[in-house]
């Protein structure tokens, strides 16, 4: 049987820090980020691609605020769905062009993905994920009372809306995605962590006004479609201890137990490497065999065991 892999493209794979983030730049970055995917396809892997959408969601929410007086505002779940489609198109086209140059002729498609969450998830009751534009302190009371938003100060830069970030529990479209992959189709799914939803008592699906961590969702997706490997593409070449200090130690290989111990010791912060380590451990405990964490530039070598950090049970 062919090996199956989920490739989780980080935010820097599409919109990079210190760039304006216009569409031309996003297409160029996306093309560069797909070299590792083409290499996987050459090796005969069955591939599912996920991706981040943080900068794009932020821009979309700014557009909502700026046009609120002209058109009805869009809720966060619909914005995530819109971006799954738009960014999926961009990744599809870039991959089709890269495959053309590599002499590969494989079908690729995007699936809008609903991610099941627990409607009683603690993060829904106590939202903490910053989204959207900054507001002034004198606007907070009105935003809270009229829109029902939860507002918090973001490191002295201003006030922002915070939303929930529930734990992903399952994939609504898992059977469709698995079927497509089994037929040799490259699938782009779970964009931006997917659209958070839960089941009502009557069996209906209902959306949650929140965002899901892309790497945690990628791990769940990988387990539910029977993937053996998970490649997390991020902004660093390797996982490291004491990151950014003179005592930094890069880690070419980790076991899940070692990774959890370092996580508990505070080595992997919540806002950066922490969720990636949690995703890696979840994927392995759910039946996965190997997780690779590395940068865009090092991904092709990391797949061959020459770079990056490999995490195994």
Per-residue pLDDT of 29-75, as tens digits, reads 999 889 889 999 999 999 999 999 999 999 999 999 999 999 999 99
The better pLDDT of the pair 283, 36 is held by: 283
The 8 Å CB, 24+ separation contacts for 56-60 are: 56/14, 56/15, 56/83, 56/86, 56/87, 56/192, 57/83, 57/131, 57/192, 57/211, 58/131, 58/132, 58/133, 59/21
Contact by Cβ (8 Å): 8, 51: yes
For residue 2, the model assigns a pLDDT of 87
Contact by Cβ (8 Å): 157, 130: no
- Rounded to whole angstroms, how far apart are CA atoms 257 and 255? 5
The catalytically annotated residue of 98, 174, 214, 298 is 214
Residue 104, in any domain of the structure = yes
For residue 304, the model assigns a pLDDT of 87
The catalytically annotated residue of 98, 174, 276, 298 is 276
The 8 Å CB, 24+ separation contacts for 101-107 are: 102/38, 102/41, 102/42, 104/38, 104/41, 104/42, 106/41, 106/184, 106/185, 106/186, 107/184, 107/185, 107/186
215 and 87, same domain (yes or no): yes
Average pLDDT, the chain: 94
* Predicted confidence (pLDDT) at residue 271 exceeds the cutoff of 90: no
The catalytically annotated residue of 10, 11, 88, 192 is 11
Q: pLDDT digit string (tens) for 193-206?
A: 999 999 999 999 99
66 and 176, same domain (yes or no): yes
* Predicted confidence (pLDDT) at residue 11 exceeds the cutoff of 80: no
For residue 265, the model assigns a pLDDT of 95
Residue 123, in any domain of the structure = no
* Mean pLDDT of the region 20-28: 92
- Count up the domains in the chain and report the number: 2
138 and 235, same domain (yes or no): no
194 and 113, same domain (yes or no): yes
Residue 122, in any domain of the structure = no
83 and 18, same domain (yes or no): yes
The catalytically annotated residue of 129, 170, 226, 274 is 129
- Rounded to whole angstroms, how far apart are CA atoms 215 and 220? 9
Q: pLDDT digit string (tens) for 122-153?
A: 998 889 899 999 999 999 999 999 999 999 99
Q: Which CA distances in Å does 76 have to 57, 129, 146?
A: 8, 13, 17
72 and 186, same domain (yes or no): yes
For residue 147, the model assigns a pLDDT of 93
| 3 state SS of 106 | coil
142 in catalytic set? no
Maximum separation of any 2 CA atoms in the chain, in Å? 61
Residue 137, in any domain of the structure = yes
CATH number at residue 176: 3.40.1160.10
* Mean pLDDT of the region 67-94: 96
152 and 29, same domain (yes or no): no
**What domain range is 274 assigned to?**
4-117+168-312
Contact by Cβ (8 Å): 136, 158: yes
The runs of H, that is alpha helices, within 14-75 are: 23-33, 35-42, 54-66
| 3 state SS of 6 | strand
141 and 227, same domain (yes or no): no
Structure tokens at 256: 């899940």
11 in catalytic set? yes
Q: Which CA distances in Å does 196 have to 60, 108, 163, 250, 298?
A: 18, 24, 12, 35, 32
- Rounded to whole angstroms, how far apart are CA atoms 288 and 153? 39
71 and 145, same domain (yes or no): no
- Rounded to whole angstroms, how far apart are CA atoms 105 and 162? 43
270 in catalytic set? no
138 and 196, same domain (yes or no): no
45 and 136, same domain (yes or no): no
275 and 137, same domain (yes or no): no
């Amino acid at each position: 049987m062919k090996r199956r892999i989920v490739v989780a493209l980080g935010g820097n794979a599409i919109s990079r820090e210190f760039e304006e983030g216009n569409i031309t730049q996003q297409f160029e970055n996306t093309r560069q980020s797909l070299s590792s995917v083409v290499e996987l396809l050459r090796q005969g892997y069955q591939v599912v691609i996920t991706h981040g959408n943080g900068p794009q969601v932020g821009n979309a929410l700014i557009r909502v605020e700026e046009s609120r007086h002209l058109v009805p505002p869009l809720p966060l779940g619909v914005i995530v769905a819109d971006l799954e489609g738009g960014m999926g198109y961009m990744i599809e086209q870039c991959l089709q062009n890269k495959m053309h140059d590599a002499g590969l002729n494989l079908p690729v498609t995007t699936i809008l993905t609903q991610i099941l969450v627990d409607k009683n998830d603690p993060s829904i009751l106590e939202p903490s994920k910053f989204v959207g534009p900054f507001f002034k302190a004198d606007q907070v009371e009105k935003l809270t009372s009229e829109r029902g938003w939860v507002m918090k100060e973001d490191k002295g830069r201003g006030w922002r809306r915070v939303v929930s970030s529930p734990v992903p529990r399952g994939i609504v479209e898992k059977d469709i995605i698995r079927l497509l992959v089994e037929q040799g189709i490259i699938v782009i799914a779970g964009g931006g962590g997917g659209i958070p939803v839960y089941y009502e008592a009557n069996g209906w699906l209902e959306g949650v006004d929140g965002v899901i961590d892309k790497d945690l969702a990628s791990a769940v997706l990988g387990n539910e479609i029977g993937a053996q490997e998970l490649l997390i593409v991020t902004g660093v070449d390797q996982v490291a201890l004491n990151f950014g200090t003179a005592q930094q130690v890069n880690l070419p290989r980790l076991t899940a137990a070692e990774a959890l111990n370092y996580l508990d010791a505070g080595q992997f912060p919540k806002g950066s490497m922490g969720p990636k380590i949690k995703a890696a451990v979840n994927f392995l405990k759910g039946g996965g065999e190997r997780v690779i964490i590395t940068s865009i530039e090092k991904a092709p070598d990391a797949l061959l065991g020459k770079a990056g950090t490999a995490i195994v049970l």
